[in-house]
Amino acid sequence: EEEKGHNFIEEIIEEDLAAGKYSKIITRFPPEPNGYLHIGHASSICLNFGLTLKYPGHTNLRFDDTNPVTEETEYVESIKDDIRWLGFEWENEHYASDYFPQLYDFAVQLVKRGLAYVDDSTSEAIASMKGTPTEPGVNSPFRNRSSEENLDLLERMKNGEFPDGARTLRAKIDMAHPNMLMRDPILYRIKHAHHHRTGEAWCIYPMYDFAHGQSDSIETVTHSLCTMEFVPHRELYDWLIGRLEIYPSHQYEFARRNLNYTVTSKRKLLQLVNEKHVTGWDDPRMPTITGLRRRGYTPESIRDFCERIGIAKRENLIDVSLLEFCVREHLNKIAHRRMVVFDPLKVVVTNYPEGQVEMLPSEDNPEEEKVTYREMPFSRELYIEADDFMENPPKKYFRLAPGQMVRLKSAYIIRCDEVIKDESGKVTEVHCSYIPESRSGSDTSGINVKGTLHWVSIAHAVNAEIRLYDRLFRVEDPSSEEGDFKDYINPDSLQVVTNVYAEPSLLKSTFNDRYQFLRKGYFTLDKDTSEDRLVFNRTVTLKDTWAK
Ligand code: ATP
Ligand code: MG
Ligand code: MG
């Protein structure tokens, strides 16, 4: 792995700047608006935007919207939202489709100079003439058309005279080229389809290879960063820019970042959404930016994660526990501590006056420089966690048990005096007495207890629903398993706990608040919250509890 904070792309840029090749650099983030962004994209965003924060220059957002069929405006909006939420702002917002007239013009130039031709071969015929990596391909019978004929046919392709697939425009390079992508690659295809921005204006669309490099060049992008699968495309990228004699952008490649126990491919994520394996792109189990956000991840934690994994030239699966480590680190610093009882057991404090309520200050976050407090109502009837009580405890059990004392966090020490059961022998409540001198912050009781429990006052508690998440897939790399990746979905990735009792201050929660529910993990309010029901998502547990 690369040394943190100084990767091979930064080395290239520093050399370029030092050599005076550029006075500022321009990068771009080029999503295809055919789905929501995922954690892999976050790594590319942090890289591209991070570079121009570190070095003079700027980053453009460019929608790579050359494929009319799969693209939607909803995706454009979500992508912009997600980038901003991650904390970045682009200099210019561009659309490859805005360059359609210019790209067409480039195609005309190539045709005029005998560097491109219209081919009437079917896609099957083109494929069959391609050759193999060890054997040269065969020239198309349409390869030697005159420029005039090619110009005429290209214009008629553009004017909609031919059906889908009838003709293509191909670069005239070399059918024996060792790089298969250089064997007369297709530059334009006919597709009578509605485009989300250009509508019906075009019925020919540029191929990725013809759109991408030329768009970079139009924007004078200096360092065009893409993932490793584009290494073989670089030769064509340079060929087109060279032949067109336009601004020489340069392509550099880095490895895709993939997380284990999930899939990072928009196409696969779309299947999960469409086939209702998840509730939507923003399902908190999804590795999408919007899913992570709803789950309670912070932009800081995702940026930290991307910085820690850095960039590399070889693909590998990143352990999701690193992502969780990053969010835990950040939430520990910023999350307000709250008390929530998941599985209640009633405690009656028999020596506490009936009807009396005391407001006890409890610190929001001991990690904060300036500690703030909220008030916890304390009264005679409380809930504690059922598994914080044992009638016949083993040795060294420091929670509540008959005759044993514990501290209620930010409140008093209580002692269990009596256990109340129903006919079946099930414990229904425990009766305790409190030590009045043991109040937190002014404890003069001299009693030392080892256990501290979270609690809520029954009369003041608010009802909530808690959603606990596990990995979305049962295997580390579902895409590499036999059969369909969806066969490996974890059926227990969501556990809903209802009838949870939360301290009343949580009624004021907003979607931006981050909480640590004491001893339970980190939580955030979910958008399914309604007037009469608070819903919280567990972002992550307090410790790494997943078995390795
Ligand atoms: P997907 O298969 O999810 O659709 P993609 O590469 O086709 O991925 P794009 O919208 O084209 O998605 O991606 C925009 C940018 O983000 C590209 O520069 C791409 O290289 C980068 N990117 C996409 N996925 C990853 C990933 N897993 N790791 C790092 N960068 C990625
Ligand atoms: Mg792509
Ligand atoms: Mg894609």
- Containing H/E element for 352? none
| 277 part of a folded domain | yes
The residue segments making up the domain with residue 16 are 8-254
Query: Is 283 in the same domain as 236?
Result: no
Query: Is 207 in the same domain as 233?
Result: yes
| 1 part of a folded domain | no
How many other CB atoms are found less than 10 A from the CB of residue 168? 25
Among 28, 234, 266, 399, which one carries the catalytic annotation?
266
Q: Which ligand is nearest to the CA of 226?
A: 1
Pocket of ligand 1 (CB under 6 A): 30-32, 40-41, 43-44, 64, 226-227, 256-258, 264-266
Query: Is 233 in the same domain as 287?
Result: no
Query: Is 354 in the same domain as 324?
Result: no
**Two tokens at 339?**
């008390």
Helix (H, G, I), strand (E, B) or coil at 151: helix
Distance, CA of 294 to CA of 512 (rounded, Å): 10
| 367 part of a folded domain | yes
The enclosing domain of 295 has a CATH number of 1.10.1160.10
**For each of the chain's 548 residues, which pLDDT tens digit applies?**
444 557 899 999 999 999 999 999 999 999 999 999 999 999 999 999 999 999 999 999 999 999 988 778 899 999 999 999 999 999 999 999 999 999 999 999 999 999 999 999 999 999 999 999 999 999 999 999 999 999 999 999 999 999 999 999 999 999 999 999 999 999 999 999 999 999 999 999 999 999 999 999 999 999 999 999 999 999 999 999 999 999 999 999 999 999 999 999 999 999 999 999 999 999 999 999 999 999 999 999 999 999 999 999 988 899 999 999 999 999 999 999 999 999 999 999 999 999 999 999 999 999 989 999 999 999 999 999 999 999 999 999 999 999 999 999 999 999 999 999 999 999 999 999 999 999 999 999 999 999 999 999 999 999 999 999 999 999 999 999 999 999 999 999 999 999 999 999 999 999 999 999 999 999 999 999 998 899 999 999 998 754 43
Domains contained in the chain, number: 3
| 545 part of a folded domain | no
Query: Is 290 in the same domain as 420?
Result: no
Query: Is 369 in the same domain as 234?
Result: no
Query: Is 322 in the same domain as 351?
Result: no
393 DSSP assignment: P
Query: Is 444 in the same domain as 385?
Result: yes
Residue 36 dihedral angles phi and psi, to the nearest 5°: -85, 155
| 348 part of a folded domain | yes
Tell me whether residue 62 is one of the annotated catalytic residues.
Answer: no
Whose alpha carbon is nearest atom 25 of ligand 1? 40
Among 54, 143, 256, 346, which one carries the catalytic annotation?
256
Q: Which atom from ligand 1 is nearest to the alpha carbon of 48? A: 18
Tell me whether residue 266 is one of the annotated catalytic residues.
Answer: yes
Distance 33 CA to ligand 3 centre (A): 9
ipTM: 0.96
| 458 part of a folded domain | no
pTM of the entire predicted model: 0.94
**CB–CB of 427/420 below 8 Å?**
yes
64 is annotated as contributing to ligand binding: yes
| 285 part of a folded domain | yes
34 is annotated as contributing to ligand binding: yes
The enclosing domain of 388 has a CATH number of 2.40.240.10
CA angle 126, 230, 106 (to 5 degrees): 65
Tell me whether residue 415 is one of the annotated catalytic residues.
Answer: no
Q: Which atom from ligand 1 is nearest to the alpha carbon of 30? A: 14
33 is annotated as contributing to ligand binding: yes
Of 227, 257, 305, 320, the residue with max ligand 1 atoms within 8 A of its CB, to mutate for a pocket test, comes to 227
Cα radius of gyration (the chain): 31
Query: Is 55 in the same domain as 188?
Result: yes
Alpha helices in 310-385 (DSSP H): 320-334
| 548 part of a folded domain | no
Distance, CA of 241 to CA of 128 (rounded, Å): 28
Q: Which atom from ligand 1 is nearest to the alpha carbon of 44? A: 30
The DSSP bridge pattern shows strands 534-540 and 462-469 to be parallel
Distance, CA of 247 to CA of 434 (rounded, Å): 79
